[in-house]
Structure formats: C-alpha cells, structure tokens
Amino acid sequence: MAAARLLVSCPDRPGIIAAVSRFLFEREVNIVSSDQHSTDPEGGTFFLRMAFTVDHLTVSREALAEEFAREVAQPMGMTWRLRHLDEPPRMAIMVSREDHCLLDLLWRWRRGELDCDVGIVVSNHPDLRADVESFGVRYEHVPVTPDTKPQAEARALELLAGSDVVVLARYMQILTRDFLDRVGAPVINIHHSFLPAFAGADPYRRAHDRGVKMVGATAHYVTEELDAGPIIEQGIERVTHRDDPAALAHVGRDVERVVLARAVRWHLEDRVLVDEGKTVVF
Amino acid sequence: MAAARLLVSCPDRPGIIAAVSRFLFEREVNIVSSDQHSTDPEGGTFFLRMAFTVDHLTVSREALAEEFAREVAQPMGMTWRLRHLDEPPRMAIMVSREDHCLLDLLWRWRRGELDCDVGIVVSNHPDLRADVESFGVRYEHVPVTPDTKPQAEARALELLAGSDVVVLARYMQILTRDFLDRVGAPVINIHHSFLPAFAGADPYRRAHDRGVKMVGATAHYVTEELDAGPIIEQGIERVTHRDDPAALAHVGRDVERVVLARAVRWHLEDRVLVDEGKTVVF
Amino acid sequence: MAAARLLVSCPDRPGIIAAVSRFLFEREVNIVSSDQHSTDPEGGTFFLRMAFTVDHLTVSREALAEEFAREVAQPMGMTWRLRHLDEPPRMAIMVSREDHCLLDLLWRWRRGELDCDVGIVVSNHPDLRADVESFGVRYEHVPVTPDTKPQAEARALELLAGSDVVVLARYMQILTRDFLDRVGAPVINIHHSFLPAFAGADPYRRAHDRGVKMVGATAHYVTEELDAGPIIEQGIERVTHRDDPAALAHVGRDVERVVLARAVRWHLEDRVLVDEGKTVVF
Amino acid sequence: MAAARLLVSCPDRPGIIAAVSRFLFEREVNIVSSDQHSTDPEGGTFFLRMAFTVDHLTVSREALAEEFAREVAQPMGMTWRLRHLDEPPRMAIMVSREDHCLLDLLWRWRRGELDCDVGIVVSNHPDLRADVESFGVRYEHVPVTPDTKPQAEARALELLAGSDVVVLARYMQILTRDFLDRVGAPVINIHHSFLPAFAGADPYRRAHDRGVKMVGATAHYVTEELDAGPIIEQGIERVTHRDDPAALAHVGRDVERVVLARAVRWHLEDRVLVDEGKTVVF
C-alpha cells in the first residue's frame, strides 16, 4: 500500500480544506487521516497534516506535486511538503559519551519503530564505536578542542551532508551559528531539564540545589540561541529529597531517552510544524 | 460569533471530507477545527468532528440541516448530529452521599467550564440539598429501597425528562435496563477503579487486598451490563503499602472528580462518539 | 487512641535513633512510624520524623517534653518539635478572587482530610464571602492599595494573630519582609508554574509564549525573595499547541489545587522540614 | 566504605526499633537510613529496612549475625536477612524473543545501575544470543515444546543453580509449580497489563477490545497462580482510539522495561518485603 503525507501552513481563510480535499479526491488519493490547527480563525495561520494512500493515483508523483503547487498551494500562499513513505529520510546522530539516548534510538530503529535510514553517528569521543558498529552503522570520531572547533565543524558538515535530520543524542558541544546555517537539515536536541528551567550547563546539579520535586527533559529544534529553540516534547519524573545530583541524572536518563525518541519519531512521521518559535505537533 | 459542531460516522470511502467541506464552504461556513478517524481505510468506519463559525451562513439553520441530510448524509449513509452552540444541552445529575464529584461539577459549571444548563440533581439521600441549592440548582430527594425501586425509578424518569445527558456523580444504585431504555439520554458514570480491574462493588477494598501500586477511576457510558459500557476517560494515581482502603479512597477521590469532569466536558463539547462498545474521543 | 509526632533535625552522628527510640520506649511510647534522612553520613544534617501512640505514657506531657529536651535534644544539639494530635494547628487562608484553591481546601477540611482548625479567611476582595461563610468560617475583607499597603498588612497581622500556618490560596499581593518577620507562622504559597520556570507575574501567558508542552504548579514556603522559597510539592499536566493562555490556566487550576492541598496536608501532618532552602518531605 | 543492609519482619510490639538500634550502636554500626512499616500497631506485622556503614564494626561479620540472631531476632520472633554490599547477588534472566526488557536490564547493569552479577541468560529461542554475548554474558538456548517441557525445566534448573534472583524479561512460557519449588530463588516477572486487568494471554489485544484509555505493566513475584503473585511495581501510559493492538504494544514496551527495571533494582537494593500476597516497598 503506497502512502504519502502532506504538510501545509498558510494564512488562514475559508475553503482551504475544501480545496485540498477536492484536489486529492479528483486524483483518487484516499485521505486516511487529517489534522488541522488554526492559530486564530480571523487572520491567523492555518496548519494541516494529511496522510493518504496513493495506490490508485491517476497521475504521476511528479504531476501530483506540480499540479498541487500550481492549483492549490500558490493561490493560497502555502508553505508545503509532500513526502512519499517509500522514500525514508536519512538521519544522522551526534553524540558525546553518554550512551542512553543513542542506544535507545538505535534499538528503536532496529526494531522498526523509526522509519528512516541511519547513515552515520558522529562523535567527539571514540568511546561508543563498538556499540554503534554492532548495529551496522558507520561511526566517525571527530575530536573537538577550542583550537580545532572550526575544522571539526567543517569535517562534521562533510559527514552530515545529505542528511534530512540531525539528532543530538547528548552531544555536549555548542554548535555555531555558521554550522547551523550550513547543515541544511533540522537539528533536534535533548536538553536534560524541563525548559525554560535550567537552560545551559549542569541542569541536574542546579535542579538539586533548587530542591525541585521533579526533573524533566526537553526535546527541541536547535536554533542559534542556546536551549531556546521550538519545543517538540517534554517529560518529567518525580524525585525526592533523598536524590542527590547523580540520582537525579539517573532518573532523568529514563525521561531523556523517551522524550527524545518521541520527538524524533514525530518528526520522522511529519507530525511537527514550526510556528514562530513554537511547534504544532499533530 | 455564532458557532456550531458537526459529528458524523459512516462507512469509510474516499471523498467524504471533500464532500463535507465543499458543502460547508459553499454556504460560507468557516471550518475552525476538524478531526477524523478511520477504523480501517478499507471497509472500516469513518468518524468526523468539525467545529465551525456560521456568522456568514447563507441559508437558514433549518435549510443547512435539511440540505446536509439530503445532499451529503443520505448518499453516504451517515449517522450525524449538528448542534448550534447557543442551544446548550440540559444536564441532570444523580448522586448518593459522596459530595466530591458533584461539587466539582457544580463548581466547574458555575465557573463556565461546562457549557450546559444544569436542571436538577436527583439523590436517593437528602444529605447534599443545602450544597446543591447554594448553586441555585433544584434538588430532589427520591429514596430508593428494594421494595420501592420501580416507583423510585419512575419518579426519577419524570424528573429527568427532557435532559440531554444524565451524569451519575457517585450514584450508588444500579439502574435497571428499563430505566436506561426510557431515560432517552446518554448516561455517564464514574467508577472508582481502573476498569476492567475491580468492576462491581467495593473497588478500593479489593484494590487494597490485591496490593496494587496505583488506583484509578473510569468514566464511561452506562449500558445494561454493569461497568462494561464504552470508556470515555481514565485516570490513575500512585499509592503505597502504607495506604489502607480509606487512604486509597482518599487518593482516588481526586482522580474520580477530574476524570468525571473531563468526560462530561468532552461529551458536552461533542467530542465523544461511540464505536461498537468503545469511544472515539476527538 | 492518643497520638503524637516528633520532628527532629540535628548534626548527624551515630546513635541518634538509638537514643530517641530508647527514650520513648522507656516511657511506654509506641512508635508507629519512623522516617529519617541524612544529607551526608559524615558531617551532614540528620532529620527524623516519628509518629507514636501515647496511650500508656508513664509521665505527663510536660515531663515528656522537658525530659526529652534535657536528656536527648540538648546533648545532641537538636532542633525539635513535639505535637500531640488532639491539639490541632490553627490555619488561616489568604485569597484574592480566584476560588479554586480556596474552595478545594475548605471542601477537604469539611470532609476531614485536613486536620486543623480554619480560623479565618482574609481577602483583598469581597467576592468570596458567601462561599466562605457557607462553611462556617469567618471572612474578613482587607482591601489593599499601593497607598494603604502598610495599614492593610497591619490589619491582616491582627487578624492572623495566633495562626500556626498561613496559606496563600492564590493571594495576588506580594507580602513585605516586615509582614513575614512579624506573622510568626510559616506561610505556604501556590505559584502557578513549575518553578523555577516562570517565576513572577503571568506565568501561563509566558508558558504559552515559550510553547511548553506541560504546565505546572509549585507549593512552597514564602521567603523574602519572590517565588524562591523552599519547594514542598510540584505537579504538572500536559498541554498542546491548541491551548491558548486561558486554556493553560484552565488546565493549571486542577494542578494548582491538588498541589496546594497536598502541601498543606503534609505540613499539617508534620511531614515537612526545611533544610537550607530545600525541604525534606517524609 | 563498607556497607550492609538489614531486613526484618516480625509481630509488632513496642521496643523493636530501640532494640535493633541499640544493638547496632553498641557495635559501632552507623545507621544511614531506616524505614519501617506496621500493618497495624495492635497485633499487626512490623517491617524494617536499615542501611548502615560497618567501617568501624567492633566484631566480625559472623559475630554480628550470630549475636543479632541470639540477642534480638530470636527473642522478638523475627524473620530477617543481613547482607553486606560487597557480596552482590547473582541474577539470571530468562527471555523469549522480545528484546526490549532484556536489553534494558543488561544496559543498566553495564552502566552500574544494577548492583549484581549477571551470570546467565536462558532463552527458549536462539534469537538474542549475539546481543547478550556482546555484554559478555553467557547465553543458553533451552528449547521448550509441549513434549519436552519437563526436560527443558530440568535443564533450566541446572543452569540457574546458585542464582539469588531470576528475572523473566518477557519469558513467554508458564513455569510449573515444580520448577518454582526447586529454583530456590525469587522469580520476578513483567506482565504487560495493569494487573489484575488482563491477566493471562494477549493483554494488548484485550485492552484494545475493551477500549481502555491507558495501558500498563506490572512487575510481580511469580507464584503458582498465573499473574497473581505479589505486585512490586506498576506503570501506565495514555493511549487513544487511534492505537491498534500493535500500537498499544509499542507504547507498552516503554512502560514494561521501566517498570521491570525498577522492580529489579528495588529487589537488588533489598527494598522489597512480601506480606501475605502483597509487597512492602521501602
């Protein structure tokens, strides 16, 4: 069963769903699920995700895209993306030394939970090579020091070229604006706190100092401003006065890996749209 | 801003969304949100909820309904309901002695969280009269004994006549099949366990005996079979070995009232459709 | 069954539990539950909560306290408190216009969930008088304007005199350092965010602007620094991109009242000790 | 720092804590944490867990145990266990084909989260050999057919001999009473439902048929009656009408592995005592 997904955002106005659904129906596309969101019915932004089967498509894939652009998207000022599911996205992972998020992603990928090709893992440490290679995935060690950061980022960009999404699975280096401009794919990070609380370094230590009763984790798209990008997913777990910072980290690991895995899966399933520093998650 | 909601279920087939959205667009109805669900794209059932504004409606409400029936619903075999929001549903509540679910509903209703008219509270005990009347709501005491159950149900049916929904906010009497056949409105119950665990009497005692680590609550539509109707919402809270049955009941009360309030609100917002003993909650 | 509770904090050292438990055993006090916490076995602080029955106490209550002070507490440098449960603490509540936390506390108190005397509710608005008086509780309206703040605080202090704990159930005025110095009882506040995120004004608006996927609430002891006092309890609930600030407030209300009620109950049950800006909650 | 833990259960009576803590204090054992539970202060059962450091122990380990037995345990009718932490328990794992619980345990063990020796993994399928051996753990394939079940159990008993705990990490065979009698160690199972709901086969399918709004998992000690042993830990996650049985299983896997890991860790940390078909978890 051939399937595809359409993501749309555009200025809101009446008739968008009617236009899109008629266009698809006329080409014998069968809508399987449809989600929409309007930030404001008067003058806001309209977001749409449709999943459909294209077994009986009466035109070619190329024609479908061209005609949609000409007949629907351009007249309505849409930003849009149409993806056929038999062309899975290519995912790259960056990691430092902590293995829990990385292994969890690789396990899920091997089990078929993440519909993508994992092309490469890039790390600033050599530690996790054997684990990664046991999944049949290429591992490249790109050391980073204050002096070599530009060359390291250049090397990473070469290795990541062609990726559709880059996941920072506890990658403990700050990426430069230049890197983000040139990587050419969305970058998803997991931060080990409930943002905006404890943005920046050493969140479990600071959570302990503040005496919070829960620790959290936040998966977000990376932007130039540290830990301030659009939030995709958050999670939380209870802790008590008995937990020292190491215990908070222990509890937090279970939250981090689940939150990151969910964010990555939703991204791969084309469920996430960005709306002015926030996300719409269908 | 005049608003309305459409609920639809029908055999799945291509073109449903196109037909509905075109019909509405042509009458200058503006779709604000749209949710759909298909149990199976091939041969399953299709469910749809649309919320829209009708400020610029080009036909009368009556014509809108008639034309929708003739042009869309009948050709596609739809079960459907169209409700204008300025005609709020009438809600009745039945209760015994426990006040936590009742007071929570009345308080939310007073705050404007529940869009309905609360016409009456019927109880088999006199205890909660002052509380209910302080909200300006009529309270009727209809005692029930094994001998007088038929007369009591007949009296309750008189009092509930005209209700659009009946909520059992910890009403500790089993309703007969005859009552359910004649009440003419959906009946929502809160059961104080995570169904299907501990269906029937005294769930907190039985949860304690089994040594569970969480207690739950379940809001469901009432059917003839006790505690077996379609589940609308469930909730859960942690407990420990330190909690005796009274402590479980204490913890559970907080879950019960929130779960029931959510289920009632979703019902009043036309978010719940029944699908062969289960619910679709949009 | 006469019962009492002992709360202790002191420099950690071997033999504390042995000393306390022997002292109690020799006076035929029967320990029902015992919790302890050490921040660090070497050189840290030791915290202890014991609950016991005193039906067979071989000395007077006064002698029990005096002997404990002399024989155990002073030699070990303890800060301690012994409370007999037949002497319930007096609780005062301060509130502005939002009723959800206030009513929830009063319901729970009437139901017997909160073991205290509620002496008075002080509000800077007249709105909630009827609700409060229906519980048989005194309501005093003490208006606060920028010009009259000193007089208003002086009046509030008169009304709160003799209270063992003051609960701010959404009291939207900042208390001065002078007020806190003179009130002579711990003050518990509910803040409508997951602290330290969104400390200060208008947290739901700011949570919406940041696009968080969960909203929270935090109950804490009030200190001079705004929203920075020791955290007693926190809670959280999921939200989505569909929720505007009003919807976040709606969801948040259910979290606020449960978190505040838990914190107040734990405080009344002598479960909370303060440790350098944080709490130990037994 | 040498450490040990004491677990006690006995008929409740005054003076138990005093006796135990004095005994330990006199031998220069320093209590680091202490938890107790009484099912009923009058005539119930008393449970105690103490963790302590034994760096300055004034007697030998053997003498400590002998003297405790003679001076404290026997006079008070205690069931007790004293374990020194430098003698970690030996854990064996049984598994079928699903890898998520197994890999999660092995990965936590490698990270140092589980204080034990993992001696062997026994499986009725050959599938997971490479994964297990990559952790340096022995893997034994013991096929089970209806005809060979007695021989298979006999072979498994040989392989498990000397284990202090056996964990069924999704082992899809029912163990006989004879096996349980002879294995000589507690057996912990993970069941993929919120027990007692959906005990027995195919719980996700049955959860889907019933239309529950949450799926759960339960870790429990195995007893002769299927899925009826003492519950150690439970967890739960939300699902919706969109989730088919495969999706419930997908969501449930994340709950299962966390619930099982917690139960195993608590067991290894001597936090779990059994009390008439239920557990006390300190």
Q: Where are the domains of chain A?
A: 3-84, 90-281
A258 in reach of chain D (CB within 8 A): yes
pLDDT in tens, B203-239: 999 999 999 999 999 999 999 999 999 999 999 999 9
Q: Which residue from B minimizes the CA distance to D210?
A: B278
Could you give the CA distance from residue D156 to residue D173 in angstroms, rounded to a whole number? 12
| pTM > 0.90: yes or no | yes
- The model's confidence at residue C43, banded by pLDDT at 50, 70 and 90, is confident
Average pLDDT of chain C to the nearest whole number: 96
Q: Which two tokens stand for residue C151?
A: 């007089």
Summarize the confidence of residues A13-39 as an average pLDDT.
Answer: 92
Long-range contacts of B145-152 (CB under 8 A, 24+ apart): B149/B176, B152/B124
HSE at residue C124, side-chain half, CA atoms within 13 A, is: 18
Q: What is the pLDDT of residues B166-212, one digit of tens each?
A: 999 999 999 999 999 999 999 999 999 999 999 999 999 999 999 99
- 15-34 in chain C: CB under 8 A from chain D: 15, 17-18, 21-22, 24-25, 28-34
Q: Does B113 touch chain C (CB under 8 A)?
A: yes
Contact D163, D91 (CB under 8 A): yes
d(CA C195, CA C193) in angstroms, rounded, equals: 6
pLDDT per position as a tens digit, A265-274: 999 999 999 9
Helices and strands, counts by H and E, chain B: 9, 13
User: How sure is the predictor about D186, in pLDDT bands with cuts at 50, 70 and 90?
Assistant: very high
Nearest Cα residue to B232 out of B192, B201, B185, B277:
B277
The average pLDDT across B90-101 equals 98
pLDDT at residue D221 tops 90: yes
For the cut 90, the answer to whether the pLDDT of residue D40 exceeds it is no
A279 touches chain C (CB under 8 A): yes
Fold match, A3-84 / A90-281:
no
CB A278 within 8 A of CB C241: yes
Residue pair C194/C216 in contact by the 8 Å Cβ criterion: yes
Q: Where are the beta strands (DSSP E) in A78-224?
A: 79-84, 90-95, 117-123, 138-141, 165-168, 187-191, 214-221
Residues comprising chain A, all counted: 282
pLDDT at B42: 77
Radius of gyration of chain B measured on its C-alpha atoms? 21
Mutate to test the interface with B, among C135, C250, C251, C281 (most CBs of B within 10 A): C250
Q: What is the CATH number of domain A3-84?
A: 3.30.70.260
Q: Does A275 touch chain C (CB under 8 A)?
A: yes
| A53: chain B residues, CB-CB within 8 Å | 41
**Closest to A257 in 3D by CA, of D103, D115, D118, B234:** D103
At A43 the pLDDT is: 83
Q: Which chains have at least 3 CB atom pairs separated by less than 8 Å from chain A? A: B, C, D
The answer to whether the CB atoms of B99 and C111 lie below 8 A apart is yes
Considering A12, A104, A164, A227, which one is annotated as catalytic? A227
Q: What whole-number distance in Å separates Cα of residue B193 and Cα of residue B198?
A: 6
Structure-block tokens of residue C92: 């005062």
Instruction: Please state, for a pLDDT cut of 90, what percent of chain A lies above it.
Output: 94
pLDDT one-digit tens code per residue, A158-198: 999 999 999 999 999 999 999 999 999 999 999 999 999 99
Q: How many CB pairs under 8 A join B and C?
A: 17
Total CB pairs under 8 A between chain C and D: 53
Average pLDDT estimate for A79-90: 96
Substitution target from B109, B111, B115, B129 for chain C, most C beta carbons within 10 A:
B111
Catalytic residue among C104, C227, C243, C270: C227
Query: What residue of D is the nearest CA neighbor of B36?
Result: D242
Helix or strand holding residue B218 (H, E): strand B214-221
Contact state of A250 with D113 under an 8 Å Cβ cutoff: yes
Q: A84 by DSSP, 3-state: which?
A: strand
ipTM: 0.93
CB contact (8 A) between residue B38 and residue A32: yes
Rounded CA-CA distance D194/B36 in Å is 29
Which H or E run contains B225?
A: none
Say whether residue A145 is in contact with chain D using an 8 A CB cutoff.
no
**Partner residue facing C17 (CB), from D21, D38, D41:** D21
DSSP 8-state assignment for residue B60: -
Is the pLDDT assigned to residue C1 strictly greater than 90? Answer: no
Is there a contact between A234 and C240 if contact means CB atoms under 8 Å apart?
Answer: no
CB contact under 8 A, B38 and A21: no
Question: Considering CB atoms only, which of D21, D35, D37 is closest to C21?
Answer: D21
D254 lies within 8 A of chain A by CB: yes
Residue A203 in tokens: 């969140």
d(CA D77, CA D21) in angstroms, rounded, equals 17
Q: How far is B172 from chain D (nearest CA, A)?
A: 23
Looking at B104, B227, B243, B270, which residue is catalytic?
B227
CB of D205 less than 8 A from some CB of A? no
For chain C, what's the residue count?
282
Token pair recorded at residue D115:
């204080």
Residues of chain A contacting residue B41, judged by C-beta atoms under 8 Å apart: 30, 32, 53
Q: How far apart are CA D171 and CA D192, in angstroms?
A: 12
> What average pLDDT score do residues D11-36 get?
93
Per-residue model confidence (pLDDT) at position B76: 97
A234 touches chain C (CB under 8 A): yes
Mean pLDDT of B97-124: 97
Distance from the Cα of D42 to chain A's closest Cα (Å) equals 31
Q: Which residues of C touch D35 (CB under 8 A)?
A: 34-35
Q: Are B230 and D211 in contact (CB under 8 A)?
A: yes
- The Cα of B177 is separated from the nearest Cα of chain D by a number of Å equal to 21
Interface-testing mutation among C191, C208, C214, with chain A (most A C-beta atoms within 10 A)? C214
Residue B45, Cβ neighbours under 10 Å: how many?
17
Q: What percent of chain C has pLDDT over 70?
A: 100
In this predicted structure, what is the pLDDT of residue A42?
76
**Residues of chain A above pLDDT 70, percent:** 100
Q: Residue A1: pLDDT band by 50, 70, 90 thresholds?
A: confident
Would you say D90 and D163 are in contact if contact means Cβ atoms under 8 Å apart?
yes
DSSP annotation of C183: H
Whether the predicted pLDDT of C42 surpasses 80: no
Residues in A touching B34 (Cβ below 8 Å): 17, 34-36
Burial class (CB in 10 A: 0-12, 13-18, 19+), B43: exposed
Q: Which chains touch C (3 or more CB pairs under 8 A)?
A: A, B, D
Position D52 scores a pLDDT of 92
Give per-residue pLDDT as tens, C63-99. Answer: 999 999 999 999 999 999 999 999 999 999 999 999 9
User: Contact D250/A134, CB-based, under 8 Å?
Assistant: no
Degrees, nearest 5: CA angle A113-A117-A119: 130
**Residues β-bridged to residue C128:** none
Nearest residue on chain A to D246, alpha-carbon basis: A113
The nearest CA of chain B is from the CA of C150 a distance in Å of 33
Q: Outline where DSSP puts E strands in A109-243.
A: 117-123, 138-141, 165-168, 187-191, 214-221, 231-238
Other beta carbons within 10 Å of C184: 13
Whose tokens are 């062997």? That residue is: D120
A-B contacts (CB, under 8 Å):
53
- D230, D236, D241 ranked by CB distance to B211: nearest: D230
Write out chain A residues lying below 8 Å of C37, CB-based.
Answer: 241-242
| pLDDT greater than 80 at residue D108 | yes
Judged by a CB distance cut-off of 8 A, whether residue C135 touches chain B is: no
Structure-derived torsion over alpha carbons of residues C14, C16, C17, C18, reported in degrees to the nearest 10: 80
Task: Specify the CATH architecture of the domain A90-281.
Answer: 3-Layer(aba) Sandwich (3.40)
Facing residue for C103 by CB, picked from B99, B107, B258:
B107
Q: Tell me the average pLDDT across A46-57.
A: 94
Concerning whether B227 is annotated as a catalytic residue, the answer is yes
Residue B142: the pLDDT is 98
SS3 content of chain D, % helix, strand, coil (to 5): 35, 30, 35
To the nearest whole Å, the CA of C155 is away from the closest chain A CA by 34
Q: Tell me the chain C residues in contact with residue A37 when contact means C-beta distances shorter than 8 Å.
A: 241-242
Predicted pLDDT of residue D175: 95
Q: What angle do CA C252, A44, B50 make, to 5 degrees?
A: 75
Average pLDDT over residues B238-255: 96
Residue C229 is predicted with a pLDDT of 97
Q: Distance, in angstroms, between A34 CA and closest chain C CA?
A: 15
Say if strands D138-141 and D79-84 run parallel, antiparallel, or are unpaired.
unpaired
The span from the CA of D64 to the CA of A211, in Å, is 38
pLDDT at position B255: 97
Query: Is a pLDDT exceeding 90 seen at residue A41?
Result: no
CA dihedral B140, B141, B147, B152 (to 10 degrees): 10
DSSP symbols for C109-152? HHTT-S-SEEEEEEESSSTTHHHHHTTT-EEEE----TTTHHHH
B94 and A CB contact within 8 Å: no
What pLDDT score does A40 carry? 83
pLDDT digits (tens, 9 = 90+) for C191-225: 999 999 999 999 999 999 999 999 999 999 999 99
Mean pLDDT of B6-33: 93
What is the enclosing helix (H) or strand (E) of C30? strand C30-38
pLDDT of residue A80: 97
